Amino acid sequence: MENIDFKTWYEQQIPNPALLKQRLTYLQRQFQMDSKRIDKLKKLQQKLEKFEWCIAFSGHFSAGKSTLINTILDVPLLPNSPIPTSANIVTVQKGNASFVMVIREDDQVEHLTSFEDVSKYAKENDIKEINLHMKDFPLPESFVLMDTPGLDSTIESHQQKALDALFFADVVIYMMDYRHVESKENVEKIKKIESLGKKVILVVNQIDKHQKSELPFHLYKENVSSFLKRYTLDHLPIYFLSLKNFEIEENEWEIFTNDISHYLNKRKQTVIETITKTMYILIEEHQSFLFYRYKEEFETLSAKISYRESLEMLRKRIQKMEKHLREYEERPGKFEKTTTEQINRLLWYANIMPYHTRERVREFIESNQVDFRVKGFFSKRKTAKERQRRLELLLESLKENAFIYLMLPTKKILTNQFKEYRILTEDFKEKIQDFMVELNESIVLDTFKTSALYNEQYVQQFCRDISRNVQRLYRNDLYRFIEQGQHQVQLVATLNEKD
């Protein structure tokens, strides 16, 4: 039996735990020197022994993954924030006692008795995973919830961590922000997860932000369905949720939880299917590992074989080297031009004044009219307080829009450009990740004209003025980034010329 092709042999069998255990052990013996695949096989063996059913939450930063897990657990266990903080895999499962196990990249293990430090550890980069064990876990013992880093992270290690973790999930809930569903990036990530042989469930979160006056909700759903159909993803189940307001008529929370319960009831069958599909994928990965391993050895051996080049071949090599030198000389200018063009295009088309923010603008301008008053006792104090409240609401909306429509795309542009020009050092990775443009009250107050009358014309003008001021702040900070990158490209070009 050991000499039969695995796929042919397996198709003749009926999947069961005993059979899977036998094949996992056999494959570990066959995957010699392929430590990465052997580690994954061992994890699959552990999953089989415990019949561990894992539901993973994936998708964009700030799409609500942690909030959904907290809602399911009915405990504010995981940190959630509009600013991406989690760089690590966090799992939650039942335990005899409540504690936290932190596993670092060097396999050192720390045990904590309090959940309070989870947020701090979730930000550290030298951690492999964080396992939370809850005594009062509301789900069955073999059930695991997994929170993953956002797949749109600008740090490759975060994306790889997320994909490696999804390898062992039985069901993946892919979460999208209500305003960012129709993007090719979503399509790419979802198809990547499907290629791992996973059951994928789509969730559109934060539908409480929908403005029916702009578009009836049923038409919004039709648009989403058409988009998914265009990319052959319409076979996937999709749910529209608001974790903030469960009373919204369009909220499909009840349907969603009922369907998840259905998957839960079939968990043993699902675990067997997951392990079977994952074994197939690991066999293919091992074949690729062997190919590249021996290919590299062959190329190394070939390079050692001496041979004589003809004069014509030598002349062509010199021409090719001269061409490369010219290209290196032009690289700094090309880097500056292409990066600036992409940044300017982003700033020009970024919609940081959507409908709900324009409403905040109207409320702010209205509150700053001379005749604006809050009725009742202590009217003057209440009026000032209401003006401050509306200012803060407008600023909060601006910050959120700037982060989503400018900050995240900006970091992606910088990462791609620095990577393309081979200057994405660890130092630059850190600078890009930490890049932040602060927006404070002055961006609103300095733009507002106190003598302006409250009318639609000035509302539109005020929106344009604030947009330009935010763009200017981003442009000034980004130009400094571009200059640093250009200097680094020039330095690399100079070193190549010397070589």
CA 390 to chain centre: 32
Q: Is the pLDDT of residue 2 over 80?
A: no
Residue 108's alpha-carbon distances to 41, 127, 132, in angstroms, are 21, 9, 16
292, burial (CB in 10 Å: exposed 0-12, middle 13-18, buried 19+): exposed
Contacts of 42 (CB under 8 A, 6+ apart): 28
CB 394 within 8 A of CB 448: no
The mean pLDDT of the chain is 82
Q: Tokens representing 446?
A: 């300095």
At 393-441, the pLDDT tens digits run 999 999 999 999 999 999 999 999 999 888 888 888 888 888 888 899 9
At 128-182, the pLDDT tens digits run 788 889 888 888 888 899 988 766 555 555 667 777 778 889 999 999 988 889 8
For residue 495, name the pLDDT band (cuts at 50, 70, 90).
low
For residue 305, name the pLDDT band (cuts at 50, 70, 90).
very low
At 329-366, the pLDDT tens digits run 677 888 889 999 999 999 988 888 998 999 999 999 98
The secondary structure of residue 154, as a DSSP letter, is S
Distance (Å, rounded) from C-alpha 158 to C-alpha 126?
11
User: By C-alpha distance, which of 174, 161, 165 is closest to 124?
Assistant: 161
Contacts of 335 (CB under 8 A, 6+ apart): 417, 421, 482, 485, 486, 489
Q: Is the pLDDT of residue 368 over 50?
A: yes
DSSP for 182-232 reads: S-HHHHHHHHHHHHTT-EEEEEEE-GGG--TTTS-HHHHHHHHHHHHHHTT
Write the Ramachandran bin of 135: left for phi over 0, alpha for psi from -120 to 50, otherwise beta. Answer: alpha
- Beta pairing partners, 199: 171
Q: What percent of the chain has pLDDT over 70?
A: 82
| pTM metric for this prediction | 0.61
Distance (Å, rounded) from C-alpha 405 to C-alpha 400?
9
Mean pLDDT value across residues 6-24:
68
User: By C-alpha distance, which of 215, 203, 89, 201 is closest to 144?
Assistant: 89
3-state secondary structure of 385: helix
For residue 480, name the pLDDT band (cuts at 50, 70, 90).
confident
The secondary structure of residue 310, as a DSSP letter, is P
